[in-house]
Structure 1
């Protein structure tokens, strides 16, 4: 099954769901644990019926759901179909969503030597020095954020080597950027917005607010 484009995902009209770095994400406001547990159980039945299984996180006030076709390494039509079924299920139970809530944080590290430092970071973060896939260190159990290596020329001049990528819903990013600026930050570079906008704190430490648009 082929990976859907950003426009195809947007055209699907999934009001509860937002595509972030790799997957579809939704937060359902169950407001109590019992309601959340019942929703998780019902989603599990849908997943078994579809033979397609989301990642689900249950907390007291909400249920977070993530959909990704791992065999295709992206969002496919079966993710969209299951997302729509999950939304209908939640609506039938009177459970609303918060489409602005989902967020994914990734770590980015500038390096001219992925092969030299990749195994170290893989071992440190996952316990497995071989857990390097191309430019990524990914923990299959989801304990730590994905770390990706940003290629750069070798250099000796001190500079920031790490930065955070904060993936947000495309229709929530501007408000988050404004909040960060109001809290003392600055916009360093918005030439690639809305794909990503580079922000800095008062000491110059940088982070990128990322969306799926124009990628």
Structure 2
């Protein structure tokens, strides 16, 4: 299937879901473990019918779901179709969604020599240099946040090696930035907003508040 554009995803009108870096994310407030398990079972049946399967995290008060078409490298119509069906299942069971609560965290490391440092970080984080996939270290077990390498010039100064990329829904970004600034932070660079806004804490440690818009 063809990979969808940001406009197509927005126009799909999936109120229960938000796109973060690459995937669609949904949080459903099941309230207890048994209710969550029953919901996941119903979602699994729908996924089998569609031959398309979400990543699922079942906790006591809610269920988190992530949809992506790995073969297309992004979102396709089958993701939107299954997301809509999952929302129907939730409504049938009286389960509310909380899409503004979804987040994703990535680590970013500046480097001028990916070939030198990439295999090391893949080996120490994921147990094998083979976990280096392009510019990313991907943990096949899903336990660690993705580490991606931001290419920089060798003589670039001043240079911060690590920073965080926080992926949040676009309708949350402005509020989150205001809250962080009120808590002592500052905006370093908002020239690329809403794609990303760079914030810093009082000691200069940086985080990028990222959305999927304008990318």
Q: TM-score range by the shorter chain?
A: over 0.9
Matched, 1:27 2:27: yes
Q: Which runs of 5+ in 2 are unaligned?
A: none
Q: Show the 5 A alignment for 1:149-164.
A: 149-155=149-155, 159-164=159-164
**2:90 alignment counterpart:** 90
**2:141 alignment counterpart:** 141
Offset of residue 155 of structure 1? 2.8
Give me the whole-angstrom Cα distance separating, in 2, the residues matched to 1:125 and 1:80.
33
CA root-mean-square deviation: 1.0
Question: Which has the larger displacement, 191-200 or 152-161?
Answer: 152-161
- Runs of 4+ more than 4 Å apart: none
Offset of residue 159 of structure 1? 2.9
Q: Which runs of 5+ in 1 are unaligned?
A: none
Offset of residue 12 of structure 1? 0.2
**2:105 alignment counterpart:** 105
Q: Secondary structure at the match of 1:100?
A: helix
Give me the whole-angstrom Cα distance separating, in 2, the residues matched to 1:158 and 1:7.
37
**1:10 alignment counterpart:** 10
Offset of residue 156 of structure 1? 7.6
Give the TM-score normalised by the residue count of structure 1.
0.98
The change in CA–CA distance for 1:194 and 1:156 in structure 2 (over 3 A counts) is closer
Matched, 1:207 2:207: yes
Q: Secondary structure at the match of 1:177?
A: helix
**2:167 alignment counterpart:** 167
Give me the whole-angstrom Cα distance separating, in 2, the residues matched to 1:7 and 1:157.
37
Give me the whole-angstrom Cα distance separating, in 2, the residues matched to 1:44 and 1:38.
10
Name the one with the larger helix percent: 2
Give the TM-score normalised by the residue count of structure 2.
0.98
Q: Secondary structure at the match of 2:130?
A: coil
Q: Secondary structure at the match of 1:199?
A: strand
1:14-56 Cα deviation digits (max 9, x unpaired): 0000000010000001111111010000000000110101000
Offset of residue 157 of structure 1? 5.1
Q: Show the 5 A alignment for 1:187-202.
A: 187-202=187-202
1:140-195 Cα deviation digits (max 9, x unpaired): 22110111111111138563111000000011111111111111110111000000
